[in-house]
Amino acid sequence: MPTSRPNILIFFTDDQRFDTIRALGNDAIHTPNMDRLVARGTTFCKGYIPGGSSGAVCMPSRAMLMTGRYLYRLEGEGQGIPAEHLMLPEYLRGQGYTTFGTGKWHNGPAAFARCFSDGGEIFFGGMDDHWNVPACHFDPTGRYPDTRPHPIDFGPTQPIIQKRWDHITPGKHSSELFAETAIDFLRGHTSDDPFLLYVAFMAPHDPRTMPAEYRGMYDPEAIDLPENFLLEHPFDNGDLYTRDELLAAHPRNPAEIRRHLADYYGMISHLDAQIGRVLDALEESGHGEDTLIVFAGDNGLALGRHGLMGKQNLYDHSVHVPLIFAGPGVPAGQQTDARAFLLDIYPTLCDLLGLPTPPSVDGQSLVPAIHSDGPGRDSLYFAYQDIQRALLGERYKLIEYCTGEERHTQLFDTQADPLEMHDLSGLPEYASELASLRQAMQRARLVHNDVQEQGQRFWARYENSHG
């Protein structure tokens, strides 16, 4: 039966780059269910994350999604989000929604308990073995006394996997585990109350393991290297030897990168199949027409582009993510170039539900862009730790690096050079554009509250370094 307000189903993927959906132009990948969402809803082709305050970029991304706050206006991400930052499921729970969460949380048990009235197969860590997930049963107290996985240090000597066990389901892949938990919820939800179902996958994050049929789906030798593939990054970006960057040899070997891409695509296709199972269960539940669906990724990934492997940078491949809305009040089959951040999901859903957006939220509603193809945000400000800052304007993108005594600048024409291959910063004919973007970056850092410890260190070094 239809509910008084639409239900909400949120799919959140881990390390999925924007250009990994067939319907959005990647003919090399098989994603029929993500294609199904593209056909059913409105895709924001310029959806982004603002960057990250640590090597675990996905942690603040998840906090930004839940709180609707800018990167440097977050508090307690990864541990305990403060009560004054009203999270999306927490807010809707107060509006009469049944809220259910499964999968990767990465922002502390107490915050999960505030958000969800129920849940299952909850993973509080950042990464682990997909086949033996240290997932937790739901605990309404939020204590989980013996199940908090150790945080992962993204330094080069850290083991890739750490484990603390509550209960495990050996032999079941994480994507299947979380999808089946979501399906069980949909089949068991008989209340007249609307629901919010949050399904946060661990895929396609490494270790890239999957069932054999998907591991063999893509032939590495048949995969084209990206045009912006490099053997090495052209200069020290400040984080060339973090954990992600050590997943492939230096210098990058083309055959090894193709193997990584084949495994990456295989994981995404397996993930896509699980999303299809949840969508089918939604239809079978009778709620296919009265459910708002959001599909998004927490960050992108380099995988050989610019000589990098991870997401610890501000190039487009690492901050550009999928973002799709579908369901009641959302036009089908529409793609827009309106610029958006993931933190805009929260106020957009409030707008679609006819609810006021809480004052703690920084994001802006994307409903005007959904209905009129408006421009979205005028510009996008990005930051990574205390070593990189970037600003994307209407056409040009500025990236500033400051690593010790050295400073590097890049300027890209994102219309003529979307793969960010040709640095224009040293050309005199672009001096005016460069100066304008630098001024805009200084204004944007204040709006984004990038005046705290990381920002102070970056800008102090920036002013005292030489390029």
Q: What is the pLDDT of residues 133-151, one digit of tens each?
A: 888 999 888 887 655 443 3
- % of the chain exceeding 70 in pLDDT: 92
Provide the pLDDT confidence category of residue 108 given band limits of 50, 70 and 90: confident
Identity of residue 415: Q
- Mean pLDDT (the chain, rounded): 92
For 90, the token pair is 């927490």
Q: What is the pLDDT of residues 187-233, one digit of tens each?
A: 999 999 999 999 999 999 999 999 999 999 999 999 999 999 999 99
Q: Give the Cα separation of 364 and 360 in Å (integer).
A: 12
Cβ-contact 215, 263 below 8 angstroms? yes
HEC states along 11-39? EEECCCCCCCCHHHCCCCCCCHHHHHHHH
Locate CATH 3.30.1120.10 in the chain.
380-464
CA angle, corner 316, sides to 129 and 220, nearest 5?
A: 50
What local confidence, expressed as pLDDT, does residue 372 receive? 85
Question: Of the CATH numbers 2.40.50.100, 3.30.1120.10, 3.10.20.30, 3.20.20.70, which one belongs to the domain with range 380-464?
Answer: 3.30.1120.10
Residue 76 has pLDDT above 70, yes or no: no
Provide the pLDDT confidence category of residue 405 given band limits of 50, 70 and 90: confident
Give yes or no for a cis peptide into 204 (omega within 30° of 0).
yes
Question: How many other CB atoms sit within 10 Å of the CB of residue 216?
Answer: 11
Choose between 68 and 373: higher pLDDT.
68
For 67, the token pair is 């709180």
The residues that bridge with 236 in the sheet, in sequence order, are none
List, in order, residues 6 or more apart from 193 with CB less than 8 Å away.
Answer: 3, 96, 97, 98
What local confidence, expressed as pLDDT, does residue 2 receive? 41
Beta strands in 2-159 (DSSP E): 7-13, 41-48, 51-52, 98-104, 118-123
| Least confident segment among 83-87, 96-100, 332-336, 370-374 | 370-374
12: closest CA among 173, 192, 141, 196?
Answer: 196
What local confidence, expressed as pLDDT, does residue 171 receive? 75
**Mean pLDDT (whole number) for 330-336:** 97
Cβ-contact 279, 237 below 8 angstroms? no
Go through the chain and tell me how many residues it has: 467
Q: Give the Cα separation of 438 and 434 in Å (integer).
A: 6
Residue 386 has pLDDT above 50, yes or no: yes
What local confidence, expressed as pLDDT, does residue 145 receive? 66
First to last CA, the chain: 63
Cβ-contact 412, 396 below 8 angstroms? yes
Locate CATH 3.40.720.10 in the chain.
7-372
Residue 152 has pLDDT above 70, yes or no: no
What local confidence, expressed as pLDDT, does residue 157 receive? 33
CATH number of 7-372: 3.40.720.10
Provide the pLDDT confidence category of residue 80 given band limits of 50, 70 and 90: confident
391 sits in which H/E element = strand 388-392
- Phi and psi at residue 452, in whole multiples of 5°? -90, -160
List, in order, residues 6 or more apart from 363 with CB less than 8 Å away.
Answer: 68, 69, 341, 343, 344, 345, 346, 347, 348
DSSP string, 309-350: -SS-S-SHHHHEE-EEEESTTS-TTEEEEEEEEGGGHHHHHH
